[in-house]
Structures are given as structure tokens and as C-alpha cells.
Structure 1
Amino acid sequence: MLQTDSREHTEFRMDHDAAPAARTAPATPTAPATPAPAVCGELLFQRCLWCGTPAYRRSFCRACGSTAFKRERGTGAGALVRRIGQTPLNTWFVAMDEGFTLVCQVTRAEPVVVAVGARVRVVRAVGPLDQGLPHVELTYRATSLERWW
């Protein structure tokens, strides 16, 4: 049978309790972490690792149901597909060149000028945790023959 002396445990415990206090260095104040500035014209989207389907802000793939995505940087170019809601809000569905559709607000253009089929580019993309819509502006206005309706 193993016999131990209670005095050894007491001495060890005192040394053990005193040691961390001696090793702890005083805390130095550091500057608060600032978030990295978002690049305005970049649009990050997701691509499914299993089937390659592009998506924007999805938790699972709409084609295969996978939850495995990789992030890619988009070109930020697309075409207007359909207006959503009231005219003064100037909110549209935009078919991006990468193959996904997202909801955007058209800026720097009157709602009367904006038409289906017009080419747009991203001016301000929203960060992954921010709420809101990406902002796009017209790059090429569609003529009546080029419209999608």
C-alpha cells in the first residue's frame, strides 16, 4: 500500500498556489481591435463545394442541400431582372454574371430611367454580418429592343 505524508501535500499545495501568482505578468493595455474597412466595389458570394452552384448569403445549397461553401470574389456586374416593391425605393432583383440572383437598390438614377435588362455594377457591397442591401448603379441603359420582357 502506498503511504503518503500529509505534510508533503500541504507544502506542495502552498507552493502550487503561490507559483501562478509569481508567474503572472502585469497586463498591458492594448488598443481596441477595429474592424477592417470593407472594400466598396467587391461582392463576395458563396460557391457550393459539392455541386458548384453559386449563391449569395445562403446557409445551404439550393441545388444539392449541402452546407459546405467556399467564398469567392465576384466581378460585381449584372443585369436588372425585376423591380420589387414601390417605385421610390428603387429595389430590384439583379442577375449577376456569376449565376446567382440578389436583391439590390439602384442608386444615382431616377426610378423612371431604370428598366429591365439594364446593366449594373456594384457600388457598395454589404459585409457578411451587416444588414441591408447592396447598392448598384447603372453602367448601360437597356434600349427597348434589349429589354427582357
Structure 2
Amino acid sequence: MIHPVIDSLDTPLNHDTPDWTTPVDPAATELVPPEGPVEVQDGTLHFQRCCWCNTPSFRRLLCPACGCTDMTSEPSTGTGVVRRVAAVGRNAGVPHPLAVIAMNEGFRLRARIIGAAPGRVHQGALVRLATYAGLRSQELAFQLCDESYAR
């Protein structure tokens, strides 16, 4: 009796595959983190829009509505409304507000609110995209549009 799997083992292996036993220079493969979020280019926030159902999304590989992978990048106005807010970093040092922001284009994102005390940022506050040097890689920062609530 001939078995197809056993018979295929007699065929020579494909030698086009990379050799994983040779050492690799770590300096040649070191990844360098980007300077800032890839979605922010020249001070403009970019988001994805599905080509099939026109649903906006942020940092997604698939459309949240239809699951399509065909997404286009569009610039955002950079303004939105705070939907949820929490103070983070209380144990590590100075607390700062972290908020879920509903952008004017229809998608939501999580970002740090700068220039305002954690108790001063409330639901419904208008915010705009900001630049801040003390951010971690891929972290976004927004500031309140009405500065009277900042302090």
C-alpha cells in the first residue's frame, strides 16, 4: 500500500528556505522606533476609511463594520469631543488625564490630554490635536479647545 504523505518524504527538501542555524548580527536587525505616531504627519492626524462601506476607523487592519481590508487614509480635522476620561499615572508620578475622544469624522481614539489637570477634563469637552515632547512612542496628545477650563 502506498501512502501519499510517506511517499512525499522521499522527495528532496526545498533548499530555497533560509538557513536558521547561521548567527545573525543583532546590530543589523535592530528596530528603531518612529519619532512619533505614524498617523500624525506634518501636524495632521490621519485615519482610515473603508472603501466598501465608508466607515471611518483608527489604527485598524480590518473595517469594524464589514471586515474589509481595503482601507484608504484620509486627513482629519484634529478636533473631537471627550467621551470618557480617567486619571492615570497616580502611582508612577504626576497624574494626567487619558480620554476616549469621539472625533468629528466619526471614529474614536484614546489619547492623553495635556495642559489640563485631571479633574478639569470632563465629558463633552472639546479638544484638538496637540504636539508634546514628553509622549511615548505611538501616543497621541490633545488639548482642550476652551483654555478657561485648563487649570
- TM-score class, shorter-chain normalisation, is 0.5 to 0.7
**In structure 2, the residue corresponding to 1:112 is in which secondary structure?**
helix
Matched, 1:134 2:140: yes
Distance 2:87 2:70 in 1: 33
Hey, what does 2:42 align to over in structure 1?
Answer: 39
Deviation of the 1:73 alpha carbon: 0.3
Q: What CA RMSD, in Å, does the superposition of the two structures yield over aligned residues?
A: 2.7
What do the CA deviations read for 1:87-129 (whole angstroms, capped 9, x no partner)? 613110000000000001000111121111100000139xxxx
Matched, 1:49 2:45: no
Highest CA radius of gyration, 1 or 2? 1
How many residues end up aligned between the 2 structures?
103
Tell me: CA distance 1:119–1:142, structure 2 relative to 1, closer, same or farther (3 Å): farther
Matched, 1:70 2:72: yes
Give the share of equivalent positions with the same residue, in percent.
35
Structure 1 runs (4+) greater than 4 angstroms displaced: none
Deviation of the 1:38 alpha carbon: 3.9
Distance 2:46 2:54 in 1: 15
Deviation of the 1:85 alpha carbon: 5.5
Distance 2:114 2:84 in 1: 16
Q: Contact between 2:49 and 2:72, CA under 8 Å: does it hold in 1?
A: yes
Tell me: CA distance 1:46–1:57, structure 2 relative to 1, closer, same or farther (3 Å): same
Where does the alignment leave 5 or more consecutive residues of structure 2 unmatched? 1-34
Hey, what does 2:118 align to over in structure 1?
Answer: 111
Q: TM-score, with normalisation over the residues of structure 2? A: 0.61
Q: Contact between 1:92 and 1:105, CA under 8 Å: does it hold in 2?
A: yes
Matched, 1:120 2:127: yes
